Amino acid sequence: MDKIIFAIFDNFYFIVLVRLFLAGLLGGIIGYERESMNRPAGFRTHILVCVGAALVMSTSQFIFEQYKYFTNADPARLGAQVISGIGFLGAGTIIRDGVSVRGLTTAASLWAVSCVGIAAGIGFYQGAIITTVVIYITLIVLKKMEAQFTKKKQLSILHITTKNMPGQIGAIGCVFGKHNVVIKNIEFINNDHENQVVVKFLIKIPVDVKKESIVGDLQEVKGVQKVHDE
């Protein structure tokens, strides 16, 4: 009898090992994409979230199997706490950058990865793998489609290298105003030179205005050293 019980538990532990390994692999696939984009939550973070969620569900199943004859335990209760509790980690990746907000996609990927971990942890392998594929396609393929939508909206990105001196942003803004260009976002990029700064502008250019003419006028501004688009 003891040997039978040991064999059952030994088999259960092997299954848990497979589930945790699969969760780590699937979470790593999504995390690698986020890491390559230099996002706050990258490779290791996604692996930890996915493996942790898988362990929670395996623990829930273990508790249910142990005490199902003594109490009406709900094996989904711990998993529900993971889905709601992952919000604190996702919130840490959301950053307000000027007038825009960054990190929403990474926060969503963390939440989705936790769900993948839950599926892997309970043994729903098909759902975990299919969801990982869908998430990866969303992050890679649909991002290119998103870039196409941005182009159709006449949105452009300009990097302007300029001397770091008072009134410089205002002077650059006057050039944009001359061409009726709408500034959507401004981002200051760190530079090694103390008296030089790179400013990233997200702008909306009118249909009847050529970008080349805007760039030409920007290069005439005193202190501007280089202007290039993305």
Within 8 A by CB and 6+ apart from 171, the residues are: 221, 222, 223
pLDDT digits (tens, 9 = 90+) for 29-43: 888 888 777 776 778
Burial 184-213 (b: 16+ CB within 10 A, else e): bebeeeeeeeeeebbbebbbebeeeeeeee
pLDDT at 221 over 60: yes
Range in 21-25, 72-76, 84-88 the model is least confident about? 72-76
The token pair at 72 is: 């009406």
Cα 224 to Cα 11: distance, rounded to the nearest angstrom: 68
Is residue 49 within 8 A of residue 27, CB to CB? The reply is yes
Q: HSE on the CB side for 196, CA within 13 Å? A: 9
Residue 106's contacts (CB-CB under 8 Å, 6 or more residues apart) are 34, 39, 40, 41, 90, 93
Residues 170/148, Cβ–Cβ less than 8 Å: no
Q: How far is CA 209 from CA 111, 178, 229, in A?
A: 42, 11, 15
Stronger pLDDT, 154 or 227, i.e. the higher one: 227
Q: For strand 224-229 and strand 155-163, is the pairing parallel, antiparallel, or unpaired?
A: antiparallel
Query: What's residue 230's pLDDT?
Result: 66
85-133 pLDDT tens trace: 887 777 777 776 554 567 778 888 888 999 999 899 888 888 899 999 9
pLDDT for 58 beyond 60: yes
Does residue 200 carry a pLDDT above 70? yes
Q: Is the pLDDT of residue 12 over 50?
A: yes
- Domain ranges across the chain: 2-150, 153-229
CA distance 41 to 59: 26
Instruction: Check residue 10 and give its pLDDT.
Output: 58
pLDDT at 183 over 50: yes
Locus of tokens 């870039």: 147
Question: Which residue type occupies 17?
Answer: L
CATH 3.30.470.10 assigned to 153-229 = no
Instruction: Give me the pLDDT at residue 4, please.
Output: 47
**Token duo for residue 32:** 């690698």
